[in-house]
Structure 1
Amino acid sequence: MAYTLDEVAFLATHTDDIAAATAGLAFTRSSLLDDVAVLRARFGEHGRAVTELAQARRSATAHGKFPADWLTDLDAAQQATPQVVAAQRAARLRRVLGADALIHDVTCSVGTEGASISGRYLGSDLDPVRLAMARHNLGADAWLVRADATVPASRGADAIVADPARRAGGRRITHPDQLLPPLPDLLAAWPGQELAVKCAPGLDFSDWDGLVSLVSVDGGVKEACLYTPGLADGERREAIVISGGEVDRLTDAQPDDVGAGEPGRYLIDPDGAVVRAGLVRHYAAREGLWMLDERIAYLTGDDIPAGRSGFPVEQIVPLKKLKAALGSDVGSLEILVRGVDVDPDVLRKKLKLRGSRPAAVVCTRIGTQGVAIVCGPREHRPARN
């Protein structure tokens, strides 16, 4: 539930009390009723707001979205961009536009983007409660105004940043035209302006005339960002892979001259940002890998790329012969599937594993045949120093 302005004012002026009162509470499914009762007894009518703030803060800080002392509600915490991702967007904007550029964040919410953008920043949002939280989070000197994202409240900004809602009716939105506000409405509202529009990574970006940037953090794809051509730096696709604090950037400006061939020593499953950005060939070319099949995003090679993991290839068999190939000594099995109609949970039950040896199997397609690539357990190669 959203807060009222009175609740935001209370939360902002009782930060120390709230931190002390919530520090020892678990907020698990089994403890929640008791936790709520404790907070209502201490904070009276504001107990509900304190409960939501504590839950939202724990969720947001666990995913690196903003500092633990920020004000936020559950919805804002869920949609907020992790700080390491926002920092990459800010770096692109400053690199392309210069350090003195004015960035107008037209859906500023509680201020996540503003915390990452150094220099001139204007934040606006239609929700006065979110603006009040942003004022607390960014400081009294932050330049914030109330405005609809589709009704321009500024002139002369060098770039517009927008983060439309990515869910409707509890379901994920699957096309940019269905965002709230819709992408066409944002473009129409800011004609001639450069835009950076944050989106869910699973949207259909095929019609976008600019750069699509996919970002993953520690193996999970967090966000896509659509940049208009003036912010694209001549690129159309970008994958940013953040792992252990290290940032790896790949674009379609890099070579992609690789083909398919027989399996090497290892099978490599590229990071999800690389796959969703359509940069599997570019990644293979950079890392000295090649494809097993021209249309399937699995790679192979004789070495695992630095900072990544791979599976030592043992044998390739038709899918129907997988059980016999595994034998009786396999007990734990990591299952990957791409390009064939195989449900990992159903397959695991059918295999009835009884042994003790760990292994992995990749169910995929090579040419017209569905195959199972039987591998040893996943191996990790340290990142370069």
Structure 2
Amino acid sequence: MTQTGTAVFDPASPTFHADRHAVYRTIRDEAPLLQLPGPVPTIMVSRWADVDQVLRDKVVRMRPVGAGAPPWLGDGAAADMFLGQMLFTDAPDHTRLRRSTTPAFRPRTIATLRADVETAVDARIAVLRELGSFDAVADLAEHVPAAAVCSILGIPEPDWPALIRGAVDFVTILSPLPPPADRLAAAENICRWYLDYFADLVADRRAHPRGDDDFLTALIAQQEAGAMSGNELLVTAHSVLNAGFETTMSALANGLQGLLSDPAQWSALAADPGLAAVAVEESLRWEAPAQLLTRYAPEDLELPSGTVPAGTAIVVAAASANRDDRRFDDPDAFDLARTDTTHLAFSAGRHTCIGAHLGRMELDIAFRKLAAAFPDLHLVAGGEAPREPNPVFPTLRSLPVATS
């Protein structure tokens, strides 16, 4: 826990999980460069101007040169998964690994997937019509991105549920803060399972390649040509799964919560499907799926709120920046009339989320079709919408809704 005046950041506190955005508001106002405990000097940046600059700065790194995995991850599967992540690399490794994943998310691939996504949404709508009331997370938000990204990787449909269920434990390794021991144990177990699963999938694809248009076959060819290590191959394949699922699933659930919390917003979308594009961006701004990011300052960094000294680890509060009233009018409101749809939910600069275009397409299709199919969709009165107690990925566990 760190406190400066009344600005307190305690990610284990019930107060924080009850209203994260109220906590971030206080931090923005009172301690925009908030000192945090850590093995190296660590600060949190929370205002839009500071966060935007940190994410785009070409000197700022993901990690110090030669740094290993965070010590709390140990030296097992979780550390292996961390060290192979493109997300935590800098050039030239980041450039090399990002180039290898580009074919999975290039515009041509995404355009080809559009029909598959529309089919998947239509299929879910047919199921939901029969239910009448349903959980917008388990019955909807988990299905749409799973169908898209598993199609990219050529993963058999019977395997989808197990792969998706593991995401909540996996994202623990992405935290810039030491998680509780039980969460670390669960993360270690799921990381081992993922590495074993993708090792089997890669072995099968090596034995039965699917041609130049198959992403995993192409990735294997790059590994065989020396472009990546064996561990990087497995982790990169999983990274595509995670990038294509977690953010979109969370954004779809968050967007529905925001839209349905004000029935006028949902009615406006039902009356004008063209508002779906705004709904996508507002969903991502209003509740960023990944709320805390990690950076490192190898030299002094001058920000609008002050100086970050060289050698400082930076916790970047993207969710806070997206609700900074110095940047947005009435930032806590979900507003389809908002004209400024800028946000930092997909990060920015060199590390902008590679799956952003795919996620936007899926969200746009889902919002359009759902509003057309269920113009009277509403939150269930008294229904709880609990979130994972994870400061980085506070994903909705459930969102009870009804169609009449």
TM-score class normalised by the smaller sequence: under 0.3
Higher strand share: 1
How high is the TM-score relative to the length of structure 2?
Answer: 0.22
Larger radius of gyration: 1
How high is the TM-score relative to the length of structure 1?
Answer: 0.23
